[in-house]
Structures are given as structure tokens and as C-alpha cells.
Copies of this chain bind each other. A is one copy, B any other.
């Protein structure tokens, strides 16, 4: 796949854009020795924006971060894993404010320059002695070298098996601009804006409104198109900090390089979203569902998400079973207009349904394809120009194992 407008930076991370350092430590919120608190710090006041979960139950840290973002500026974000600080009432809010205040004090910043995020178990109070000890040790661990990003990226994981990162460069006014991101998310993933957390850094100089609008658009096409289990979390949040140190003229949607930047930004979101889907709890395969020919893009999105979210489709893919009947059943219950006589379905390059009629295919070839690392389901409804892509994963014994004993 060629990306004409931007370059992928292998090994790049959230500290690659100019002006950022990061770090992470173990403070005791997780039972294991893994890092569980981390921070990203910008040496200048970064232009910043966020998108949040649509759940009516929004965790305490989201409230605090909204307040910090009123002026569209941030210098730091502090994140803990192991405890979501959600459904924790007034004490939870007080704890989120205290977490922000402690981080601000350690870094010599105003409280409103700091955002907070949490992920983990819902309904338990944060162990503030652990949080405070972690925050006290963080400043010494901050680094603008790769190890800083590595420590941060580990600190935000819960049941995740792998780190999720992406980094690209794009030219704006002839200057090299870097866009990077780190994310976590493994279960309760059905973002609408969804216990997914993602943090993006960039050194672009950008108008805050333009950044906010771009984040909404990119989120709709990427993070909001993944599902692991259909459950939207109380804590989902994407925060972007733009240091402005790349030296370009201030970017907005009328800038000639806007489309290149927008494409690069969306690519980073998509890479992080796909990494979350691939690392879904218990997953052995990434599933990509591409719907064409719907009446509108929104209709295509609804159908793609219904297919990728179907437990029966997900278990069939775990079993490497070319059970297209479950795919068409998902299309049929999506609540969208579909001509039932005109549906084509392909698994990779293998056509299994044409004009809603079964096509004889090589079951062995299908089995080999379905046992691969990525399964692509292509559905053409021949009913319009609406298109969408959604990502998810298979449903496995390990999903059940992980979730039958998460809290205990």
C-alpha cells in the first residue's frame, strides 16, 4: 500500500515529535510488577483536544480532563492502569483532582495544564498512597529517549498483550511534522468513543478547533469502527497534544497541506485502532470487515459493525469455518436497508456468495485463508455508494477465560 502524502517512521513513538518526554513506573495498582502509572510531558504549552466515551457513566478522570482542556492547552497527562476510578462518587472525583494536583506539583505546573486518565477495574477507590508514590517517582523517569515511551506505553496496559504504537511524518509548509500515538485497550472495546485510552503527540503547529474537528472525524473512521465485545467503557478517551515545535505556519482546514496532515493523522488513529482490535482479549486473528454498496456511509458503518461484532461470526472465524450464513444473518439484522437478493460476500479473495446465492468454493483454500493472521470479509450490497471498514477479532476460549475471572 502506498502512502504518497506521508512516511511511516519505524520505531517512532510518542516522544519522536519535538518537545515531548514520557515515562512510567510500577506503583502498586496492579498486582503484577508491570508499570501502572505513567505520564507524557510537553516542554511547551501544547495545543490539545480530546474525545470521550459516550457512556452516560463517565469516570471521574474524564470530568477532570474536560476542565483542564477548557483553554485548549496541556503540558502533561498522567495515566494509571489497574483501576478505572469509575463509579467512585465524590471520593473518586476528589481522587482524580488529587492525582492531577500531585502531578502538577511534581512538574511545577498549574493544575489545569495536566490531564488525567485511568483504566482498569470499575467501582473501587484508587489507592492514593500508591498513586502518590508513583507520581513522586515519575519526574526522574521521564525521558525523551525511546525508553521513556516504552515505559509509558507499558504503564497504560491492562489485559493487553502487546504495546500499540504508531508514528508517521508528513510535510507541512515544507517542514517535517511528526505524528505519533500510543493506545491501550483489550476488553470492553466497542468505542463510541469507547476502556480504550489513546494518546497522540505531534509537533505540528495547529489551530485548536481544527485539531478538535479532525479528531472527531478520524475517531469516527477508526477508533469508533472497532469492537472486541460490544461493550463501551466508562473511561474511553483520546487525547492529542501538539507542541507546535515543527515550525510550520499554523495549520487549519484551509491550509494547502491540510489533507496530507489529515490523512497522516487518520492513519495513526487507524493503526492504533487496528492494533487494539488485533490484541482483543483472547484474540488469535484480526478481522477486517469492508462493506461497499450500502445506501449511505452511515448505513455501511452500522452493517460493518454488526458483522464484526457478531459472536457467531467471531466464533466461526476462531474455528476457521467459512460460515457465511452467519455473516448474512448479521447483515439482515443490522436494521439497515438491504436488497436481500443482491448480496456478494468474499472471504479474502474467495467468493462465497454472489447475488445472495452460495458459490461453490474450495473449502481447503478457505480453511487455509481463515487460519491466517488477518481475515478480511468483503460485503457488497449493490445498493448505493456507502462504504465503511470495521475491525474486530475472533471470539475464543481465552476471551471467556480472561473475562470469567478478571476481578478476582
Which A residues are closer than 8 A to B by beta carbons?
54-58, 84, 86-89, 121-124, 187-188, 190, 192, 229-234, 309-312, 315-316, 318-319, 321-326, 328-333, 337-338, 340, 353, 356-358, 395-397, 399-401, 403-408
Residues B403 and A311 in contact, CB atoms below 8 Å apart? yes
Pair B397/A353 contact, Cβ less than 8 Å: no
- Pick the contact of A232: B192, B321, B332, B399 (CB < 8 A): B332
B321 adjacent to A408 (CB under 8 Å): yes
- Shortest beta-carbon contacts, A-B, top 8: A122-B325, A319-B404, A315-B403, A55-B332, A232-B333, A57-B332, A229-B311, A123-B325
Among B311, B356, B399, which residue has its beta carbon within 8 angstroms of that of A89?
A: B356
Set of chain B residues within 8 Å of A192, measured between Cβ atoms: 333
C-alpha gap A188/B322 in the complex (Å):
17
A233 and B329 contacting across the interface, CB-CB below 8 Å: yes
Given A89-B357, A319-B404, A329-B234 contact (CB < 8 Å):
yes
Chain B residue nearest to A228 (CB atoms) is B311
What B residues does A340 contact at CB under 8 A? 56-58
Most chain B beta carbons < 10 A, residue from A229, A315, A325: A325
A-B contact pairs, 23 of them (CB 8 A): A56-B338, A56-B340, A57-B329, A57-B340, A87-B353, A87-B357, A121-B325, A122-B325, A122-B326, A123-B325, A124-B358, A188-B329, A230-B310, A231-B333, A232-B333, A233-B329, A315-B399, A316-B407, A321-B404, A321-B406, A321-B407, A396-B400, A397-B401
